[in-house]
Amino acid sequence: MDKKAKYYNGICIFDYHKTLAFSQKAHNLAYQNTVNEVYGVKGSLNEVNSVASTIQTVTKDIARLRGVSEKELALKESQILSVYEKNLMISLEKYLPRINSQVENFLDILLKNKFALSLYSGESLISLKYILKKINLDKYFPDYAITPASRITNSIINRKVLLKEAVTNAKKQFKYNSQRAIFVFDDSKEGIIAANELGLISIGITKDKKVISESNPQLIYPDFTSFEKIIGDMYKRLDKLKSN
């Protein structure tokens, strides 16, 4: 991606998990092994809310449900990240992520139309880089365009805080001053609501009727199969912004 483009028509910020690709099995296994290795208990990612939480928080939440004391949680917290990253790399060898339909075609057409691409996730930068390389999407999202949860210094991390940081980072990296033509692609209720509350253009990539009804995305698609229609609808949004 050309960071030195003279101008951009807008910024597109993508969530990773269930938006660009699916790797739930690998993440589940990585967390199971990490919780067991660090805290000596068995637990599952499905037991906690992992949206926009850090890897450390998710791991501790799972262990806490298994009766691990707050003292032990804090004492061993520093071990979590490196153990998780190691376990995720092993898990990805067993469960290769599945890319969402027509993602690469859509990313290519966005670049041709001078949209800057950015990525945000509760994953660590090392994990994201490894995953993106594994599924050949690393060429679209260089390090400077990625906002992992580890960038957040605030003790309170939620989807809105993470997305706000992603917007700040993207605007800085691409020297983009407008807040209006920023599109957020997310499958989660929390991500879509955060985009709406921050005054961004929310695009729900989901078939989940409950998520759609509870978050009210401005544009909705089940995946990226109709990528030409999606970018056409994006331009309609831009035209509407210019006329206001």
pLDDT at position 3 is: 56
Among residues 109, 146, 116, which one has the least CA distance to residue 131? 146
Full DSSP string of 92-149? HHHS--EEPTTHHHHHHHHHHTTEEEEEEESS-HHHHHHHHHHTT-TTTS-GGGEEEG
Mean pLDDT of all residues in 145-163: 82
Last-in-domain residue among 38, 73, 94? 94
Q: Specify whether 117 is located in the same domain as 170.
A: yes
Q: How confident is the model at residue 149 (pLDDT cuts 50, 70, 90)?
A: confident
Q: Specify whether 43 is located in the same domain as 116.
A: no
Answer whether residue 16 shows pLDDT above 70. Answer: yes
Domain that holds residue 173: 10-22+98-243
Mean pLDDT of all residues in 173-178: 90
pLDDT at position 24 is: 92
Residues in the chain, overall count = 244
Q: Specify whether 43 is located in the same domain as 143.
A: no
Full DSSP string of 179-205? SSSEEEEESSHHHHHHHHHTT-EEEEE
pLDDT at position 57 is: 87
pLDDT at position 151 is: 76
Q: Specify whether 168 is located in the same domain as 213.
A: yes
Q: Specify whether 14 is located in the same domain as 29.
A: no
Last-in-domain residue among 40, 75, 94? 94
> Which residues contact residue 234 at a Cβ distance below 8 angstroms, ignoring those fewer than 6 apart?
10, 183, 201, 219
Answer whether residue 209 shows pLDDT above 90. Answer: yes
pLDDT at position 242 is: 80
Q: How many domains does the chain have?
A: 2
* CATH number (domain holding residue 195): 3.40.50.1000
